[in-house]
Amino acid sequence: MTTTAEAHDSIRAVQWQGGHLRLLDQRLLPGEERWVDCRDAAQVTEAIRDLAVRGAPAIGIAAAWGVAMAAQQGMALEPVLATLRAARPTAVNLMWALDRMKRRLAAGADADALLREAQAIQDEDLAANRRMGELGAGLIAPGSGVLTHCNTGSLATAGYGTALGVIRAGVAAGRIARVYAGETRPWQQGARLTMWELVRDGIPAQLIADSAAAHLMRSGAVQWVVVGADRIAANGDVANKIGTYQLAIAAKYHGVKFMVVAPSSTVDMATGSGEEIEIELRDPAELLGTAGRRTVVEGAQAWNPVFDVTPAELIDAIVTERGVIERPNGMAMQAMFGR
């Protein structure tokens, strides 16, 4: 158990090793810890699309390594950039990382300089997470309970995590006394991945069914909902894993505070509001079965949007490595992220 003021975190799920990219396969956890070796950018694209690597910052980092690897192999980079960009639509970190690589390329960077840029993107993400951990934990009163959603930990980032980083820091500082994680149907990021990270760190936590969240809030056990983000629009609206929006509504009703934790690479000032964010629709099969086994009657159909948008007015704090915006709105976002 974590009894000292040290926040654990040893998982590094995205690793550049010996000229190729190693990804801890998130489709198989917690049952199996298997690594996927990507030896070209096409394999990186596939790993992002098929969720071997997932979580907004992690897919941006993986894509940056994909571009660097293609440069090392002497590939034409424009098609590589375009294919990686199309792998998933909602998390802006993917486009942000590719734009950053593209700018370096346009400035004359050679293959080795692109490798250094990918490493910088990864290193900066880890540093941002640690800073956000401190800032976010500082908002939480000692003895609080928190509910989180999806997986926002080391697996979803360069390490440590965004919302889960706040939880790591908050538990280590003695501010967070109770942790609850929603299972995050249908892909079970909370049940399979967040619980795996928390158990590894010795952080006591309880899994809840997504549908238990309002009941949990009513019980008084949680004072904060702490989540990550896939894209934050210029007015402070936040796209995140499906189910986040209903948590924010339930939190408002019960007087539970709502915190979004994301690096500035998740902020998209070119998107005016959440209305403009493309929401990824995935294969209905993810809903109609579990682990490849059909659980719903043949012939049934399903609608499977995997993100939703939480309006800024339901958010108490957006925490980035640049600072905290309380009660976000367009003006506060402009002041912190405007060019």
For ligand MRU, the binding residues (CB under 6 A) are 54-57, 91, 150, 152, 156-157, 162, 189, 228-230, 240-241, 306
Distance separating alpha carbons of residues 195 and 221, to the nearest angstrom: 18
Distance separating alpha carbons of residues 93 and 157, to the nearest angstrom: 11
Residue 57 C-beta: closest distance to ligand MRU, Å: 5
Residue 169 C-beta: closest distance to ligand MRU, Å: 15
- Give the CB-nearest residue to ligand MRU: 228
Catalytic residue among 9, 125, 201, 230: 230
Closer to ligand MRU by Cβ: residue 239 or 250: 239
Residue 88 C-beta: closest distance to ligand MRU, Å: 7
138 touches 174 (CB < 8 A) = no
Q: Phi/psi zone of residue 126: left (φ > 0), alpha (ψ -120 to 50 degrees), beta? A: alpha
Tokens of 173: 């500082």
Tokens of 225: 């909902």
Q: Is 102 annotated as a binding residue?
A: no
Q: Is 257 annotated as a binding residue?
A: no
Residue 330 C-beta: closest distance to ligand MRU, Å: 22
Distance separating alpha carbons of residues 333 and 339, to the nearest angstrom: 11
End-to-end CA distance of the chain, in Å? 44
Polymer length of the chain: 339
Residue 336 C-beta: closest distance to ligand MRU, Å: 19
Closer to ligand MRU by Cβ: residue 83 or 152: 152
Whether 125 is a known active-site residue: answer no
C-alpha distance from residue 138 to each of 99, 114, 170, 301, 318 (Å) = 33, 36, 8, 45, 13
Q: Is 55 annotated as a binding residue?
A: yes
Looking at the chain, list the stretches that DSSP marks H as alpha helix, in order from N- to C-terminal side.
41-49, 56-72, 77-85, 92-106, 111-137, 163-172, 195-201, 213-219, 244-254, 285-288, 330-337
C-alpha distance from residue 121 to each of 116, 263, 265, 270 (Å) = 9, 11, 10, 21
Q: Is 56 annotated as a binding residue?
A: yes
**Residue 231's closest CA among 138, 153, 312, 339?**
312
Q: Is 200 annotated as a binding residue?
A: no
172 touches 251 (CB < 8 A) = no
Q: Is 240 annotated as a binding residue?
A: yes
Closer to ligand MRU by Cβ: residue 8 or 177: 8
Residue 292 C-beta: closest distance to ligand MRU, Å: 18
Q: Is 86 annotated as a binding residue?
A: no
Closer to ligand MRU by Cβ: residue 205 or 229: 229
226 touches 259 (CB < 8 A) = yes
Feature table: binding site: 54-56, 88, 189, 240-241
| Catalytic site positions | 230
Feature table: binding site for substrate: 54-56, 88, 189, 240-241
